[in-house]
Amino acid sequence: MKADIAVVGSGLAALVATRTLHQAGRNAVLIWPGLSSLYFTYATIDVLGYSDLTTTRPVEQPEAGVAQLIADHPDHPYALAGLEGLRSGTTLLIEWLRAAGFAWQGDLGRNLLLPTAIGTPKPSCLVPDSMAAGDLRRDDPIVFCGFHGYEDFVPELAASNLSRSWGRGEHSVRAVRITLPSFEPGNLFTSIDLARSFEDTTFRREVASRIRREIGVDGVRVGIPAVLGLTHDTDVYSSFAAEVGHPVFEIPTLPPSVLGLRLFDRLRKHIQESGVEMIWAAPAHEAEVSDGQCRRIFLKSAGREQPIEARAYVLALEDTVDGALRAGVHSMVDPFFHEALAHHEMPTERTDESLFKPQPYASIGYRVTRRLQPSDDAGRPLAGNVFVAGGAIAGYDPVGTKSRGGLAIATGYRAAQEAMAA
Amino acid sequence: MPDTTTGVVVIGGGSTGAGVLRDLSMRGIDAVLVEKGDLASGTTGRSHGLLHSGGRYCVNDLAAAIECVEEGRILRRIAKTTVEDTGGYFVSVSEEDLAWEPRFVEGCAKAGITCERIPVEEARRREPALSRHVRTVFWIPEDGHLDPFYLVVGNVESARRRGAQVRTYTEVTGFLKNDNRVSGVVTRDIFTGEETTIGCQAVINATGAWAGFVARLLDVEVKVVPVKGVMVVLSHRVAHATINRCHKPGDGDIIVPALSVAILGTTSAKVPHPEVLPIEWDEVHHMIEEGALMADGVSTARAMRAYAGVRPLYDLGAEAEGREMSRNFAVIDHEARDGIAGFASIVGGKVTTYRLMAERVTDLVARRLGVRTPCTTAEVALNDREDEMDQLRHRPAQLGVPKPHGDELGLQALICECELVRPQDVAPWFKDPAVRTLEDIRRRTRSGMGPCQSAICSYRLAGRLVTERGLDGPTATRAMADFLETRWRGVRHVFWGSQLRQAQVTTGVHLELFNLDRQLMHDLPPSLAGEGRGGGFETAEVASQR
């Protein structure tokens, strides 16, 4: 199979890169290794939540925060992508979300502060409309609403934590629970089951009326688990909020994250519908390189290896999640060039003693040139027409600073630009 | 005057202490068990879970082997729900193993262990996991898996139904004495620091590897040699039956399919203290290599975590060390030996023979107390009240299959999908004052023991700390974080392959979705994890229930 530019990956970076190429009128093929764990843990798009790993003060203005980060760390992937990459990528994504039927809000000028399912405030930059009313910069009281028999969102836990940290007074946060219509106690229902049920008008109306009755006062906003529709979130959310009669906001739950499913499923489908060829569930590996250029990459598909021949390639993989890195017992190797990216005498070296500290393994990835080409130890490109985006770039870990989404957007956009110029 | 009084205080909440508590209660003797950690948090819960047929000891330690044969048969009767009757293979993979075989066959005959040589082809048909290195195979039908947590909890609950009491996270710091007679213990609550005295007629020291420390409080010596063993947990059962190497017991020569996982054991190294149990990479690596000689799945299965336990080998004064030392046990009558009345120690032994150990020491103490009721622990089943045992946990083993996917469980809400733990399995434990950390819930239900290592259930359990235990959010959140940290400590040792993807899910949920790392920098209550206790969520309400 031949293409102008091949993009490999199943996360936000791959989608942004593909959309960038498509918007520019280029013939792109998207090679999607399969469901990544992003589906299960994604909700908002975080650009920069904290400026470093020790501060507890959230970044208020993500764009200014990233500019400062670039000034302080000229080798950071944000610096390689450039502030312009972040701005253009974000504009492209917001417009795309609108075109795909999403209602999202946010701009790089400010972070929202949203309550999580454990009741901690978390800074996020771009968020679905359905989450925005949770913004803790507003003062109105919050009622967390859970459902009896649903274990993946515990309103009492969220309320207890938030009432201690938010500082709007003891009575400004409380928890309620309602019984969902037609659910028997002891029955299994997952977030996905609930999201499907919420697409039903009668069900939704009944839940709304039960919540309204349970709350019984005016002037509050209602936080509920993010289960308001699996695919048609915009309609589901707005009609539900109207029926509840209070501002409503969704809170991301334990996996599977319905918000992540909505986002990735819809964007993937939308890009396919707009005519981009997509190869589904095919892990790509092995780059054939000659004269400093990648000639072909190979897909593992049923029973045989399929070569993909492109003029340029964007490797937009998310760490180990979708196969960017292979972790053997002692070494971590990339699947395309078979470069040993790290060597460890003992596997414990890959981790910190605490789960809550930065993990060395998360920073392992491709060393890249200033043009995002994967490079060898000496900084020479492994292939001049390959560009890396997303979590597979070495040297940073977006977990602690809450910057995964922004980095994916900025590097995805920039890698696509480079691929077009190559 | 002591704060409370009882007949006998049992120190130690492992299998031996739990067995003693049950035995005492069945003879009608009032008893209180005190344990400085949780039940089964020391040697018992860190064993490999092999229900010994005796085959492993029959050459070098015939007396221990014979005890295993008898006790294994008793356990199959009285503790059905803790035993998975897998049977086992002893396999030879080297010339040395083949040379060991005649001694093994002879040992089995002497100990009364059923042992059948089967052709390798036939063995491979029954057990496709056997590696190509396997040269000869013996079938030992009485090897199996013994769930150590369930065994201890089953014994303790049986004793509680008969009026016995349990105090976890309660350390003995001193003894009350009347001349040369022990008349009680002084205890300290690990979480609150509160001191309490319990008056009694006798104290039984069932603390295994810690027995020397307890005895020292009375200025008497009990020499226990702490010997570390490291285990690796594989993410699936790997084999149908247990697999032992047919040789002089060594490193990495046991594979035990245990519920949803397999446990690969073990190593042997003397340690200076029973709580100093570093897991060395060389040990983990060597075990996987050795295990792979016996079964193909070992090197390809996902290693999920590693853990270390300590054998409480009793020094009979011989020159032997480590595995050379007997796995036999001894009852020490401190009245006869040291002139201290009302104090006895039970040392050595192993989980498989816990009941016999309990019987022997209880015989001694009961005799001293003038109680003539005979021991009935070998006859009366642990779950003599079916309904309550059922509540402990739904046991796949009871259904005769390893894991009943679909059917009944598939339609129920679950707290832990990995281990199929239902809400009703965890609910009673939130009301039990002996349960004071989420690790304690894990030990009683298996929640958090599966492939995701508590990434999912930790949140649900933390939620229940608020809704069912009445804790505040920060305390419950700290308990959740401590639970995750405790699991992480085992995960780190086998961090390759898909473990990295799993870790990304865990950090994706807890650090990215929940922002837990920043929350921990705020004003959460302090953790006890640094002391190796996985964090406690003791509160005033809980304390008042005690």
What pLDDT score was predicted for residue A295?
97
Give the model confidence (pLDDT) of B314-362 as tens digits.
876 544 455 656 678 999 999 999 999 999 999 999 999 999 999 999 9
CA distance B382 to chain A (A): 28
Task: Please state which of the ranges A390-399, B15-24, B139-148, B154-163 shows the lowest mean pLDDT.
Answer: A390-399
Q: What percent of chain B has pLDDT over 70?
A: 89
Topology of domain B52-59+77-143+225-313, per CATH? D-Amino Acid Oxidase; Chain A, domain 2 (3.30.9)
Residues recorded for chain A: 422
User: CA-CA distance, B497 to B234, in Å (whole number)?
Assistant: 13
What pLDDT score was predicted for residue A13?
94
CATH of B4-43+149-223+327-369, one of 3.90.76.10, 3.30.565.10, 3.40.50.300, 3.50.50.60: 3.50.50.60
CATH 3.50.50.60 fits A2-102+262-421, yes or no: yes
User: CA-CA distance, A159 to A174, in Å (whole number)?
Assistant: 5
Give the model confidence (pLDDT) of B98-136 as tens digits.
999 999 999 999 999 999 999 999 999 999 999 999 999
- Are A354 and B456 an interchain contact pair (Cβ–Cβ within 8 Å)? no
Provide the ipTM: 0.96
Name the residue among B473, B493, B497 with its Cβ closest to that of A348.
B493
- Are B473 and A164 an interchain contact pair (Cβ–Cβ within 8 Å)? yes
Name the residue among B410, B472, B504 with its Cβ closest to that of A321.
B504
CA distance A350 to chain B (A): 7
A263: CB partners within 8 A, 6+ apart: A42, A102
What pLDDT score was predicted for residue B523?
67
- Are A116 and B515 an interchain contact pair (Cβ–Cβ within 8 Å)? yes
What pLDDT score was predicted for residue B398?
42
User: CA-CA distance, B285 to B5, in Å (whole number)?
Assistant: 50
pLDDT along chain A (422 residues), means of 10: 92 95 96 75 91 92 98 96 97 95 92 97 96 95 95 96 85 94 77 92 96 94 95 84 97 91 89 92 87 94 86 87 80 91 94 94 93 94 96 90 95 98 93
What pLDDT score was predicted for residue B384?
64
Q: Are strands A2-8 and A221-225 parallel, antiparallel or unpaired?
A: unpaired
Q: How confident is the model at residue B531 (pLDDT cuts 50, 70, 90)?
A: very low
Token pair 């005492």: residue: B24
SS3 per-residue string spanning B329-360: EEEEEHHHHHCCECEEEEEECCHHHHHHHHHH
B116 in Cβ contact with B169 (< 8 Å): no
Give the model confidence (pLDDT) of B422-454 as tens digits.
888 899 999 999 999 999 999 999 999 999 999
**Chain A residues near residue B501 by CB distance under 8 angstroms:** 37, 320-321
Q: How confident is the model at residue B385 (pLDDT cuts 50, 70, 90)?
A: low
Extents of the domains making up chain B: 4-43+149-223+327-369, 52-59+77-143+225-313, 405-545
Give the model confidence (pLDDT) of B57-89 as tens digits.
999 999 999 999 999 999 999 988 889 899 999
What pLDDT score was predicted for residue B360?
96
**Chain A residues near residue B523 by CB distance under 8 angstroms:** 164
What pLDDT score was predicted for residue B75?
95
- Are B474 and A325 an interchain contact pair (Cβ–Cβ within 8 Å)? no
Q: What sign does the CA torsion over A251, A256, A258, A262 have?
A: positive
Name the residue among A160, A356, A357 with its Cβ closest to that of B481.
A356
A391 in Cβ contact with A317 (< 8 Å): yes
- Are A356 and B501 an interchain contact pair (Cβ–Cβ within 8 Å)? no
Q: Average pLDDT, whole number, for chain B?
A: 89
CA distance B83 to chain A (A): 28
User: CA-CA distance, B40 to B72, in Å (whole number)?
Assistant: 19
C-alpha closest to that of B508 among A109, A255, A177: A255
User: CA-CA distance, B148 to B443, in Å (whole number)?
Assistant: 9
- Are A319 and B512 an interchain contact pair (Cβ–Cβ within 8 Å)? no
Token pair 């608020």: residue: B466
What pLDDT score was predicted for residue B404?
37
Helical (H) or strand (E) element with A241: helix A233-244
